[in-house]
Structure 1
Amino acid sequence: MEFRHLRYFLVLAEELHFGRAARRLSISQPPLSLNIQQLEASVGARLFERDSRGVRLTAAGRAFRESASALLAQAEEARLLAREIEAGAVGRLRIGFVGSMLYRGLPQRLREFQASYPGIQVALTELNSQEQIDALLHDGLDAGFIHTDRVPSELATALVHSEPFLCCVPHDHRLARQATVALSELRGEPFVLFSRKASPDYYNRIFEMCAAQGFYPQIRHEVRHWLSVVSLVSQGTGVAVVPAALQRSAMAGAVFLPLAQATVPSEVYCVWKAGTDEPARDRFLEKMRDEN
């Protein structure tokens, strides 16, 4: 049984006349009759009564008509779905992100993307950089936003955000009212630092920035989320060096100050598994590139 047989059957079931059905199908009557015979042989039942009074559906034909219509409708839905998936218009997209992306425009970008592609369902998961890399390698994510471009060869990256670091101190700190802060002024201060395990790149970058000014930070607390860094600073437990986006957190009790000397920037990269066929993900990547 082929879909062609079902289409021929349904047209004949509507017309109940071989000549009219053949004209609708743009074929001659003999091929139509042959296809109906092949269908009946495949089904193992007579679907039409043929006599001098014309053509009529049998009881089996009437029952078969409903199922045949449903099968063709499902086939058409499957065809359209395959085309939409191929075009990247529908699907499910699993996106990982580091928490600071909430203050770097990720929610707005996602709203704009979903306005352009309402058929794509986006699911977000907050993970640190290494967790996202592991998830991408094991097909647990389709794309992610991480703090490093040092990734395994199976992954590709694109820079999506770059900004300066700021000094973050409690509101009652001795430096809180200065216009700028030199890193060297933080010598001997207790530091709140992003965990080395969660993001070794950030940990090492801040260490290197301080070392360039002649000291190593005295680490009091290590945490896994930037908001935790700012929260601890706001409660007077130490000072920190954080990406500029964190000042948008509007955390009461924390003061953000520009650094007096230029430093390496804080960067975020979009990352995905290279060489894979993921049309929905590719539409997302195109949107991210268009906005940079």
Structure 2
Amino acid sequence: MEFRHLRYFLVLAEELHFGRAAKRLSISQPPLSLNIQQLEASVGARLFERDSRGVRLTAAGRAFRESATALLAQAEAARVLARDIEAGAVGRLRVGFVGSMLYRGLPQYLRDFQANFPGIQVALTELNSQEQIDALLHNELDAGFVHTGRLPDELSAVLAHREPFVCCLPQDHALAAQAEVALADLRAEPFVLFSRKASPDYYSRIFEMCAARGFYPQIRHEVRHWLSVVSLVSQGMGVAVVPAALARSGMAGAAFRPLADAAEVPSEVYCAWKAAPDHPARDHFVAMVRSATAAQA
């Protein structure tokens, strides 16, 4: 039994006339008759009554008609699905992100992507950079936004966002009254820092910035989420050096001031992915991030 047989059968079942059915199928009547005979032989039952009064469906033919219609519909749905997946128009995309991406363009990325690819379901998971790298390597994420471009060879990345670091202070701190803060002015302050294990690249950047000013930060607290950093600072439990976008978090009790001497060390976020296996939807997402980044340059 072939799909051709099913199509011929359904047209004949509608027309109940070999001549009209053959015309609709753009074939002559003998090939149509032969295909119907082959189908009946394959099914093992007569599907049509043929006599001087015309052509009629048998009881078996009426039952087979329902199944044949469903089979062809499923085959067409499978064809469309395969084509759309190949084109990256449908499917599921698993995206990881660090919390600061909520203030660094992630919502806009998602709105733009869903507007262009409404058939793709995007599932978000908040993870720190190292957790995302591990998940990408184990094919548990399709793409992720991480704080480092230092990635295993199996992963590729494109710069998604770059901005300066700023100083985050308790609102009643003396330095909060200044228009900008010199990093060296923080040498005696207790620091709240993003965990070394969660984001070693960010951790080392802060240390390098401070070391270049002649001191090492006094680490009082280490946390695993950006908003936890800002929250602890807002409660007067230390100071922090954070990406400028976190000033948009609206956390009461926290003040953000530009760093007077740290512009040469930017805060960066990369969109990372594992090139294999093939994933058209992920490739569309990466292309959108790449395009958006280029437009901001």
Give the TM-score normalised by the residue count of structure 1.
Answer: 0.98
**Equivalent-residue separation in structure 1 for 2:276 and 2:74 (angstroms):** 32
Give SS of 1:271's match: strand
Deviates more, 1:274-283 or 1:262-271: 274-283
Residue 253 of structure 1 aligns with which residue? 253
Aligned to 1:284: 285
3-state SS in 1 of match to 2:236: coil
SS of corresponding position for 1:141: coil
- Residue pair 2:8, 2:32 contacting (<8 A) in 1 also: yes
Inter-partner Cα distance in structure 1 for 2:137 and 2:266: 27
What corresponds to 1:23 in structure 2? 23
| C-alpha deviation, 1:250, in angstroms | 1.3
1:215-254 to structure 2, matched below 5 A, reads 215-254=215-254
After superposition, the CA RMSD in angstroms is: 1.0
Distance across 1 between alignment mates of 2:89 and 2:222: 42
Tell me by how many angstroms 1:198 deviates.
Answer: 0.4
Gaps of 5+ in 1: none
CA–CA separation in structure 1 for the residues paired with 2:279 and 2:267: 29
Amino acid in the other structure paired with 2:279: E
Task: Compute the displacement of 1:258 (Å).
Answer: 0.8
Taking the aligned partners of 2:292 and 2:277, their CA distance within structure 1 comes to 23
What is the deviation of 1:263?
3.5
The offset of 1:207, in angstroms, is: 0.7
SS in structure 2 of the partner of residue 269 of structure 1: strand
What corresponds to 1:272 in structure 2? Answer: 273
Segments of 5+ residues of structure 2 without an aligned counterpart are none
Tell me by how many angstroms 1:35 deviates: 1.0
1:173 deviates by 1.0
Partner Cα distance (1:139, 1:175) in 2:
46
How far apart, CA to CA, are the structure 2 residues paired with 1:35 and 1:139? 48
Give the C-alpha shift of residue 76 in structure 1: 1.0
Letter in 2 for 1:98: V
Asked if the contact 2:17/2:54 (under 8 Å) is kept, the reply is yes
**1:180 maps to which residue?**
180
The answer for the alignment partner of 1:116 in structure 2 is 116
**Cα distance in structure 1, aligned partners of 2:89 and 2:35:** 37
Q: Would you say how many aligned residue pairs link Structure 1 and Structure 2?
A: 292
Q: Which portions of structure 1, spanning 4 or more consecutive aligned residues, are displaced by more than 6 angstroms?
A: none
Amino acid at match of 2:171: H
Q: Supply the AA of the counterpart residue of 1:69.
A: T
CA contact (8 A) 2:190 2:217 kept: yes
Deviations 1:231-288 (A, max 9, x none): 0000000011111011000111111111111341000000011143211111111221
Q: Report whether the alignment pairs 1:163 with 2:169.
A: no
Q: Percent identity over the alignment?
A: 83
The residue matched to 2:174 in structure 1 has which SS?
A: coil
The answer to whether the Cα contact below 8 Å between 1:98 and 1:145 also exists between their aligned partners in 2 is yes
Q: After alignment, is 256-265 or 214-223 more displaced?
A: 256-265
Aligned-partner residue type, residue 9 of structure 1? F
Alpha carbons 2:159, 2:290 under 8 Å: kept: no
For residues 134-166 of structure 1, the C-alpha deviation after alignment (integer angstroms, 9 at most, x for no partner) is 111111111110001111111110001000000
Structure 2: how far apart are the matches of 1:133 and 1:209? 25
Which secondary structure state, in structure 2, belongs to the residue aligned with residue 255 of structure 1? strand
Partner of 2:83: 83
**TM-score, structure 2 as length reference:** 0.96
Q: What is the CA distance between 1:22 and its match in structure 2? A: 1.1
* In structure 1, C-alpha distance between the alignment counterparts of 2:250 and 2:63, rounded to whole Å: 67
The corresponding residue for 2:197 is 197
Q: Distance in 1 between matches of 2:37 and 2:137?
A: 54
CA distance in 2 between counterparts of 1:177 and 1:188 reads 18
3-state secondary structure, aligned to 1:282 = helix
Q: Given residue 21 of structure 1, which amino acid in structure 2 is its aligned partner?
A: A
Q: Tell me, yes or no, if structure 1 residue 134 matches structure 2 residue 142.
A: no
**Offset from partner CA, 1:155-199 (integer Å, 9 cap, x none):** 110001000000111111121101111111111211100000000
